[in-house]
Structure 1
Amino acid sequence: MTLRILEPGPLSLIQDLGRFGYQNIGVSPGGPMDEHAFSWANRLLDNPLNDPQIEINLGSFHCEFQLPTTIAITGANMSAELNGVAIQPWQSYSIQTGDQLSFKGARSGVRAYLAVRGGLDIPEILGSCATVVRDQLGGLHRDGKQLCAGDCLHYPVSKPVLTKQVPDEFIPEYCQDITLEVIPGYQYEWFGRQERQRFFNSVYCVTPQIDRMGYRLSGEAIQCQRQNLVSEGIAPGAIQIPADGQPIILMRDRQTMGGYPKIGCVTAGSLNKLAQCQPGGTIRFVKKDLYKAEAGYRVEKQFFCGISHSA
């Protein structure tokens, strides 16, 4: 009853939706970088929304299934092959004993998700199995380490089920030129009018300095009237403006406290898009009303949560 890792790729991690309720003691939530793709993988299999999956970063992943099941793959197109035959993401597939699944390099996007019907059997720590390498928490051995060749992940045997495909209108196009929606934050007024205009009228580049903690951008420098702040709690998607004026967008494994001023916060949907943008991509920002952003997020969460209640 195992999925055996033959080749893990540069960074393959066990993720569920995250570890919540512990930021007050410095524990990062973690969770999938692209929550939209993660949620669709579980939905394709009628899994509970929080069932653990493998987040595959950049590709070069190879595994073998030792008992029958059904799988789903979503997210980046990494030229996946099942027993040497090309398959497409955003679909589910029937698996037989001995079947092998492989991913090559990412053709578009950065991260792919592999889900197994019934979920992977991964031990939890602090209520979650999400892997946060920096915190040394989560993952197969609860120590925050990425998956390695030879690792065996248990899953329940399941009979073949009808395979499914995500409708085209829900499959995002992973581009290298993206627009991110920003909710102005409570420190927004600390930035002068000219600085705010510069921020929304400029084009920024995604630098190679990106990871699960944050994405550093380069472009027109933005200056804040205040810099020496007391550290405070920070949210996913927060846009920090350090002294050099180059924005940093905080991601899933962000630190729980920060002292840089924040011009705003990227919406959840835009954060998913950014997580699939490779270095060299270009970023533009547009304002988003808080209540409209919240309404859109609630609609998506209700859509995915409905299947977990009925499964």
Structure 2
Amino acid sequence: MSLKVLACGPLCLLQDGGRHGWQGLGVSPGGPVDKHAAAWANRLLGNAPDAALLEIALGGAELEAQVDTWLALSGAELPLSLDGEPLPAWSRFRVRAGQRLKLGFARAGQRAYLAVAGGFRAEPVLGSVSTQTRERLGGLAGDGQPLAVGDVLACVADDARFMRGASVPWPYQPDYREAPILRVLPGPDAFSDEQSRALFDQPWRISPQSDRMGVRLRGEALGAPCRQWSLGVVEGAIQVPPDGQPIILLADRQTMGGYPLLGVLHPLDIGRLAQCPAHSEVRFTEASVEQAQADLRAFLRFFAT
């Protein structure tokens, strides 16, 4: 029971809820960089929130079903068709054995998420199947390799789970064409008011050197206080290196960092940043820890049901 990879585009990775409990040994959690889109793909199918799915960068993937089951797609705006018939975005749909699903290249956003009823099956490494290419962990063979043409993704036959397709209501579908305003929580280092305001008072461009480890920004250089020690870093941490061009850490980040930390991106805005293409513009605004905690609790309650 499986889906066969016929084309996989620039980068196609198997991801689940992440590899937790190993950061003390230098192993980052990984997992989807856009947790909002990934959570919707699994929710459409009634899967557990951390069920394994595919993160497809920029599109260009094609798969052949070898089982009757249900799939769901969320994330980047791209053409989607089943045996040549177009399908709506952010939706679940039935596939029959022998049918071919084709994803075109993204018109907005960077990453699409494809889930299957029951989740894709692979042997976990350190408790997770999430693919970490840098650390060579997870994925189909456990060695951190991206998917390749000819790979076979194991899943279960689950044709009777639903009576009909469904879509995410449009108010919950992000508009990846809009330049986002991202919320920032205060960081641990003592930036002056002037240094902090410089982040919020200008637009920033996404550098082409960005990846799953972090998003590099380009703008008028920031000043930063000196720091003589390293500390643990979290997803969304905003580092300011000596050149003054901020780096916002994502799922495949290192676990320790020595650059000063200006702040931390709101947990629910990290995925929106990860969908921004190179050279696009973002802005930032200040937010409170209390509001971010309330937002995150509501998010976790919704997707846990």
TM-score (norm 2): 0.97
Contact 2:225–2:260 (Cα < 8 Å) also in 1: no
> Does the Cα contact within 8 Å between 1:229 and 1:261 map onto a contact in 2?
no
User: Residues of 2 paired with 1:252 and 1:159: CA distance?
Assistant: 33
CA RMSD of aligned residues (A): 0.9
- Residue 159 of structure 1: how far off its partner (Å): 2.3
> Residue deviations 1:226-248, cap 9 Å, x none?
1x431211000000000010000
Shift of 1:225: 2.4
Instruction: In structure 1, list runs of 5 or more residues that go unmatched.
Output: 307-311
Percent of aligned pairs sharing the same letter: 42
Aligned to 1:302: 301
Aligned position for 1:240: 239
Which residue identity does 2:231 align to in structure 1? E
The alignment's TM-score, normalised by the length of structure 1, stands at 0.96
User: Is contact 1:80-1:89 (8 Å) kept?
Assistant: yes
Over 3 Å off, 4+ runs: none
Aligned mates of 1:159, 1:225 — CA distance in 2: 58
Aligned to 1:125: 125
Rounded to whole Å, the distance in 2 between the matches of 1:288 and 1:229 is 28
1:6 touches 1:63 (CA, 8 Å); kept in 2?
Answer: yes
Q: Does 1:264 align with 2:263?
A: yes
Whichever residue aligns with residue 36 of structure 1, its letter is H
The Cα offsets for residues 261-291 of structure 1, whole Å up to 9 and x where unpaired, read as 0000001111010011001111111011001
Displacement of 1:92 in angstroms is: 0.4
Matches within 5 A, 1:45-84: 45-84=45-84
Q: Give 2:15's aligned residue.
A: 15
1:98 corresponds in structure 2 to 98
Contact kept, 8 Å, 1:129 with 1:142, in 2: the verdict is yes
Query: Could you tell me how far apart the structure 2 residues matched to 1:158 and 1:206 are?
Result: 41
* Cα-to-partner distance string for 1:187-206 (whole Å, 9 max, x where unaligned): 1xx22222112211111100
Determine helix, strand or coil for the equivalent of 2:188: coil
**Structure 1 residue 175: Cα displacement:** 2.8
User: 1:21-55: CA deviations, max 9, x gaps?
Assistant: 00000101000011011001111011111110010
Secondary structure at 1:292 match in 2: helix
Aligned counterparts of 1:87 and 1:163: Cα–Cα separation in 2 = 10
In structure 1, C-alpha distance between the alignment counterparts of 2:168 and 2:178, rounded to whole Å: 23
Shift of 1:158: 1.1
CA drift of 1:176 comes to 5.1
**Partner Cα separation in structure 2 for residue 153 and residue 131 of structure 1:** 14
Does 1:204 find its partner at 2:204?
yes
